[in-house]
Amino acid sequence: MTFQGRLVLLISGLVTLAVALVTILLAWTTHSAIQSRVEADGRGAATLLARSATLAREVPRDVEALLGDRLLSEATLAAHLVAVMEAGKAPVKAVIDRLKAVADGGGPDEIWVTDNRGRAYLHNIPGPDITFGPDARAQPRQAPYYGLLNRAPEKVVTDAATEGGKLMKFAGVAGVDKPRIVQVGADVRRLGDIARKAGVDGVMASLLAAGTVEGAWLLERDGRLAAHATGPSAGPLSERAVEAAKAAAAAGETGLLREGDRLTAFAPVPAVAGQGAGIAVVRLPAEDLSSVIGRHVKIGVLVGLLVLAAGVYGAVRFARSQMAPIERLGEAVAAVEAGRFNPFTLNEAMERNDEMGRLARVFRSMALEASYREETLDAQLLMRTAELETRTERLAAAEHLIEEEQRAARDVQANLLPQQLPAGRDSQFFGLLVPGPAVSGDFYDVIELDERQCLLVVAGVSGWGVPAAFLMLLVRGAIREATARPGMTPAAILAAANDRLCGQSPFDGFATAFVALYDRETGTLSHSSAGNRAPCRIRADGSVLTLADAGGPALGVRKGIPYGEAVTRLEQEDTLFLCTEGVLRAVNAQREPFGEERLAAVLHQGRGLSARDRSELLLRAVEAHVGPGGQTGDIVCLTVRRLLPASELAPESEATV
């Protein structure tokens, strides 16, 4: 062999030896570095799973606390609303309707308001009244609120619990005007949805779908399985892994366990909101180091054939290029833990097509999704808070406007009623007015003309609210003005009132009226009707008769209309009953009106009753017919009972003029 050959052989051997040594060195360095980074990634994945488990417990708790504050605000508003309406002497029915309107308009699902003994007589939920008592075993939902009657405490919020197939949360405050309980409740099934969205199941599924872990587990402190997500080749956790996880949790540190070619990482989960602590476990497959080493051997041989120095330099740079994405991931994990993660720091690592590139892309997606969820939750809370404030302001303005209009209408209606009815041994007089939810303007009047004669008036107007109240004022004024003229009969009074109403009323409405001139000494009754039903005469034996329908159309329809007139006489113990259409048109839940037949039956039952008792008997019958919340219009009735024997100056007769 020539020297050139020996030299070539020597150089080739030296290059080969140098390449082999460099390749082995690079392979060993790379193996150690990859193993260290894989262990760091395992610790990071376990830590991320532990933080997700903590977040899954904190988010529903914080949301439920915010919901409790909102329910307390709604309970306070309801307490003030009830206090204002009762101070204005609003009927119980009107208060209940207002609570239902609040609930239907976006307020709490349930509203319960009690008296000073704990009986919930105001509520928007149909059904019987309930009584709040101190017995927690008999009334697990109502007992915590019993102390509000004595303002010890002044507000109560209870945890969400399943009731009637719903997940309900309740809050309550003490009354603002007197000892009472004001409780509101809301269906909080969305808390479960939030818990599922922010839970560890999604994090486990993302880790498993990325292919960087074989399985993820969430264990209790005693090693019991709470949740898991595994791939087809993962298999269950070994007893050795469970014991190692318990030891790491007891020490409060992350831990690692290598079983063959698999690496298992552990991270403790702290206790949050009364829920016990746990352990987050992830399993990562070991890197295929043989393929990495073979690749480095080829690179080393190629670099050695070119130039030893270039090979050494290239090997060092290659090792550094392999370490760069792992270092970026480590920095990103630290940034996420510190709350200052910048997704652009992983751009270089994400461009890789190997496992490190996939891991960088998955980690960035998970970190961005966690940040987006936090920002979305904050934005939703701000939006809901703003919506609640806007709705509260609108509700308060609307309620104030409605209350002012109804109060004005009721004041007008109440002030027009006679303050005192005639009294004496010859006759009994009693008038009754029960206003509806929206004042319709019905009224009655008794005008004493002299010691023996008085004018009886029952009238109703069209429309509702303030316009109806002012129209009622015009009708009453027109009738009283006509009555003041000497020698006016009931028919003439109605004709004069109709002409004035047609010529002076600024409202597009009409009125029905019944006017009767009653002689208390003889019992003679001259009467005329303007579109109003004829009154009933109840004889002493209980028989019910309807007076002759004499008169004409409603007032305010057409000017210059003549009205007819009829005359009858009340005998001893006879009773005259006058009412408006509100009594006959009162409907029940099946939309059936009270009607003439029921009216006659009730009047027949009241044999021998006083004028007051007969009117109250009819009112109870109407209320029983319509049920709770069924009254829609005013109920007006006027009852006259003759006590002394009728004069025998004229026989009982009834004629139409």
Residue at 230 is within a domain:
no
Task: Give me the CATH number covering residue 158.
Answer: 3.30.450.20
Cα–Cα distances in Å, from 602 out to 119, 347, 576, 585, 613? 32, 89, 14, 15, 12
Q: Range of 450's domain? A: 417-580+638-656
Q: Which residue has the tokens 């062999």?
A: 1
Q: Which of 193, 212, 235 is the last residue of a domain?
A: 193
Regarding beta strands 453-461 and 511-519, do their DSSP bridges make them parallel or antiparallel, or are they unpaired? antiparallel
Q: Which residue has the tokens 């587990």?
A: 217
Number of domains, the chain: 2
pLDDT in tens, 581-638: 888 888 888 888 888 889 888 888 867 788 899 889 988 988 888 888 667 778 889 9
Residue at 517 is within a domain:
yes
Q: Which of 193, 217, 235 is the last residue of a domain?
A: 193
Mean pLDDT over all residues of the chain? 79
pTM given for the model:
0.41
pLDDT over threshold 80, residue 383: yes
Residue at 440 is within a domain:
yes
Reported confidence tier of residue 656, pLDDT bands at 50, 70, 90: very low
Reported confidence tier of residue 313, pLDDT bands at 50, 70, 90: low
Residue at 258 is within a domain:
no
pLDDT over threshold 80, residue 78: yes
Residue at 472 is within a domain:
yes
Regarding beta strands 566-569 and 524-530, do their DSSP bridges make them parallel or antiparallel, or are they unpaired? antiparallel
Tokens at 162, concatenated = 């399943």
Residue at 596 is within a domain:
no
Environment class of 484 (CB within 10 Å of its CB; exposed 0-12, middle 13-18, buried 19+): exposed
Residue at 245 is within a domain:
no
Query: Which of these ranges, 67-71, 195-199, 481-485, 553-557, has the smallest mean pLDDT?
Result: 195-199
Mean local confidence (pLDDT), 244-267 = 80
Instruction: Report pLDDT for 113.
Output: 94
Instruction: Report pLDDT for 467.
Output: 75
Reported confidence tier of residue 648, pLDDT bands at 50, 70, 90: very low
Query: CB neighbours (10 Å) of residue 424?
Result: 12
> From CA 365, how far away is CA 353, in angstroms rounded?
16
pLDDT in tens, 136-184: 887 888 889 998 999 888 899 998 888 877 888 899 999 988 999 999 9
Q: Which of 158, 193, 228 is the last residue of a domain?
A: 193
Instruction: Report pLDDT for 289.
Output: 42
Residue at 3 is within a domain:
no
Nearest to 449 by CA among 415, 412, 490: 490
Task: Give me the CATH number covering residue 441.
Answer: 3.60.40.10
> From CA 538, how far away is CA 165, in angstroms rounded?
55
Contact at 8 Å (CB) between 346 and 366?
no
The CA angle 33-35-39, to the nearest 5 degrees, is: 115
